[in-house]
Amino acid sequence: MCGIVGYIGSQPAAPLLVEGLQRLEYRGYDSAGLAVLGRTGTTVVRTVGRVRGLEAALPKRLAGKVGIGHTRWATHGPAAERNAHPHRSEDGRISVVHNGIIDNATALRAQLTSAGVELASDTDTEVVAHLVACSGADTLEGAVLEALDRITGTYALAVVDERHPDRIVVARNGSPLIIGVGDGEMFLASDVAALVRHTTSVVHLDDGELATITATGFRTFTADGEDTGRTPVEIAVAAEDLELAGHEHYMRKEMLEQPDSAEAVIRGRLDERFGTARLDGLNLAPRELRGFRRVKILGCGSAYYVGQLGAQLLEELARVPADAEAASEFRYRNPVIEPDTLYVVVSQSGETADTAFAVQEVKRKGGQVVALVNVVGSTIAREVDGGIYLHAGPEIAVASTKALTNMAMAFAMLALLIGRVHDLSVADGKRIINGLKAIPAQIREILDQEGEIAELAREIAGSQSAFYIGRVRGFPVAREGAQKLKEVSYIHAEAYQTSELKHGPLALIDESMPTVAIIPDDDLTDRNVAAAEQVLARKGPLVAITHPGVDLSHLGIRSIVVPRNEPELDPILLTIPTQLIAYHAALALGHDIDKPRNLAKSVTVE
């Protein structure tokens, strides 16, 4: 989704802005643009499509050393050059890039129009450029503050002014913004990915904060002009982590990284002696953990499906009632917040607007909220009372894989910890710990079957639609499998509880409708096999994701066999083949796997 970059220093800004925008491409966008302040004024170039198109459109001589850039994901008005950022004031003096949504843009556009301003775009952002330009303040900071006074909504904003060419003024409210501190130069970005090649020394702005950035330093302050005195922190992301490293796609690279990333999330967190987990970052003492009578999990998309898997783990291991809900629904339904419920939000990016708003809703009503988050220092990570970092490393592909696996691992540790302050025995705790420790090697075993799984995926790629079915522990696996197939292969896929098949969807089964059935070796195997037979009886092609010992060959069912772990942890492994199926179906269909159409890596608007 929309990305912001900025540069001020001693080098020509344009190539650095272009490179920064390329680093943000993975987030999804439809147009791009930049503004560079030079001796003779501001040069603004905007194009629809990829950043390389923007690069090609730049004038040869563009020497200015101050600039801002943007990748846009259309919200107000279609993807068109006039709607791409930066937006300018009528006289071209002020240029603005913006992430987020200005809620009162319609009213402000009407006011500006009746004041005689000619609007050049359909966007909400353009009003900011005009409001800053209209201000009578002597300083750019003062003009930006006056403009912000009239705006409601969410924003990360960067503003440059020809009258003050020595600075970029930025503001944040509900959309991430990070300053990168260099030596005699400063960077600006909405995502660290755009900065790490130049600096790992960063300042994360908080909501309500502004900053002035010059070539030699920065000052952070509040809307009341009070200094917030932020100091830079070092981030652990290395530039190499963001490279393809010889892989054709980030999605494949990230799937293959899972044995290592799954190892990283449990490292130092398993207490083998007492059969429990050490999750100090939660900031919850055993007595507090004991006091929670329910757990409510909130996330969006795949994170929500892993949340369902987490709820199942919590109920099984901790015997605490738990459920998961889409954060995007929760925040709109005036939810009842209970004092004895632990709210757990889950998010790879830590920037998903719907999830961040759910956090605020819980906090506003006095609830206790912790987070499972991958991106260190992200909005959600900083807003919650405590949490578990996922340590999956940077995830670039839009389709999430390794972060989801680590979310499930983290839920297992949370369930283990809460279980052990209740009635889970030491022996059972140790059993789960051994299971968790076995997972990285078992993921490697599944990844080794990529060739055979790819073959099955190519068959599915020939279909218009597919079903994914599973029950109880297998249902979140089916939901995530269907989601992944839809996202990258654009094949319509639906997940059903296996038990629900006969209550309606069976009508759709014929030779053209493949089904992927999750059939673990557990107390429901016979029922799952019976449902598979009903599919076969209607000539539906069927692939089973199953365990050793579940012999389906006599039925003519092709199987992907994953190693057994502890029954509670099996869903983590059963999910891995669904990633490979989606990837190879998309590959067979020739899609842009890392940047699926219409999707963004981090959905920072509502």
Q: Does 6 bind ligand F6R (CB under 6 A)?
A: no
601 catalytic? Reply is yes
Report the residue number, 562 or 603, with the smaller CB distance to ligand F6R. Answer: 603
Q: Which DSSP letter does residue 448 get? A: T
The residue count for binding ligand F6R (CB under 6 A) is 15
Q: Does 276 bind ligand F6R (CB under 6 A)?
A: no
Q: How far is the CB of 398 from ligand F6R (least distance, A)?
A: 6
d(C-alpha 84, C-alpha 248), whole Å: 30
Q: Does 602 bind ligand F6R (CB under 6 A)?
A: yes
Given a contact cutoff of 8 angstroms between Cβ atoms, the answer to whether 234 and 178 are in contact is no
Question: What six digits make up the tokens of 441?
Answer: 């090697």
Q: Does 568 bind ligand F6R (CB under 6 A)?
A: no
Q: Does 578 bind ligand F6R (CB under 6 A)?
A: no
Q: Does 300 bind ligand F6R (CB under 6 A)?
A: yes
Q: Does 379 bind ligand F6R (CB under 6 A)?
A: no
Given a contact cutoff of 8 angstroms between Cβ atoms, the answer to whether 119 and 109 are in contact is yes
Contacts of residue 476, defined as CB under 8 A and 6 or more positions apart, other chains included, come to 305, 306, 308, 309, 312, 470, 571
Q: How far is the CB of 347 from ligand F6R (least distance, A)?
A: 3
* Residue of 302, 565, 578, 604 that binds ligand F6R (CB under 6 A): 302
Q: Does 303 bind ligand F6R (CB under 6 A)?
A: yes
Contact region for ligand F6R (CB under 6 A) — 120-128, 272-280, 295-303, 436-444? 295-303
Q: How far is the CB of 484 from ligand F6R (least distance, A)?
A: 6
Q: How far is the CB of 255 from ligand F6R (least distance, A)?
A: 12
Site string for ligand F6R, 508-537 (x = CB under 6 A): ------------------------------
Q: Which of 2, 65, 402, 595 is catalytic?
A: 2
CA-angle at 230, arms to 226 and 231, nearest 5°: 155
d(C-alpha 384, C-alpha 366), whole Å: 12
Question: HEC string of 326-381?
Answer: EHHHHCCCCCCCCCCEEEEEEECCCCCHHHHHHHHHHHHCCCEEEEEECCCCCHHH
Q: Does 261 bind ligand F6R (CB under 6 A)?
A: no
Contact region for ligand F6R (CB under 6 A) — 100-108, 135-143, 297-305, 457-465? 297-305
Q: Does 399 bind ligand F6R (CB under 6 A)?
A: yes
Q: Dump the DSSP string for 177-235.
A: -EEEE-SS-EEEESSGGGTTTT-SEEEEPPTTEEEEEETTEEEEEETT--B-----EE-
Given a contact cutoff of 8 angstroms between Cβ atoms, the answer to whether 274 and 421 are in contact is no
Alpha helices in 227-325 (DSSP H): 250-256, 258-266, 286-291, 302-313
Q: Which of 430, 484, 595, 601 is catalytic?
A: 601
Report the residue number, 324 or 531, with the smaller CB distance to ligand F6R. Answer: 324
* Residue of 349, 379, 565, 604 that binds ligand F6R (CB under 6 A): 349
Q: Which DSSP letter does residue 316 get? A: I
Report the residue number, 191 or 568, with the smaller CB distance to ligand F6R. Answer: 191
CA 87 to chain centre: 27
Given a contact cutoff of 8 angstroms between Cβ atoms, the answer to whether 308 and 409 are in contact is no
Site string for ligand F6R, 486-505 (x = CB under 6 A): -x------------------
Q: Does 348 bind ligand F6R (CB under 6 A)?
A: yes
134 catalytic? Reply is no
d(C-alpha 425, C-alpha 184), whole Å: 58
Contact region for ligand F6R (CB under 6 A) — 162-170, 172-180, 341-349, 541-549? 341-349
Q: Does 158 bind ligand F6R (CB under 6 A)?
A: no
* Residue of 258, 355, 498, 575 that binds ligand F6R (CB under 6 A): 355
Q: Which one, of 510, 513, 542, 514, lies nearest residue 528 by Cα?
A: 542
Residue closest to ligand F6R when measured from CB atoms: 301
* Residue of 352, 379, 405, 498 that binds ligand F6R (CB under 6 A): 352
Helix axes 105-114, 126-134, angle to 10 degrees: 50
* Residue of 22, 400, 498, 575 that binds ligand F6R (CB under 6 A): 400
Q: Does 297 bind ligand F6R (CB under 6 A)?
A: no
Q: Does 43 bind ligand F6R (CB under 6 A)?
A: no
d(C-alpha 170, C-alpha 226), whole Å: 15
Q: How far is the CB of 601 from ligand F6R (least distance, A)?
A: 7
Give the torsion sign (CA, 217, 220, 223, 226): negative
- Neighbour count for residue 290 (Cβ, 10 Å): 13
Q: Does 143 bind ligand F6R (CB under 6 A)?
A: no
Q: How far is the CB of 354 from ligand F6R (least distance, A)?
A: 8
Q: How far is the CB of 105 from ligand F6R (least distance, A)?
A: 25
Tally the C-alpha atoms within 13 A of residue 316's C-alpha that lie toward its C-beta.
19
d(C-alpha 569, C-alpha 61), whole Å: 59
Residue 150: exposed, middle, or buried by beta-carbon count in 10 A (0-12, 13-18, 19+)? Answer: middle
Contacting positions for ligand F6R (CB under 6 A): 300-303, 347-349, 352, 355, 399-400, 483, 487, 602-603
Active-site residue set: 2, 601
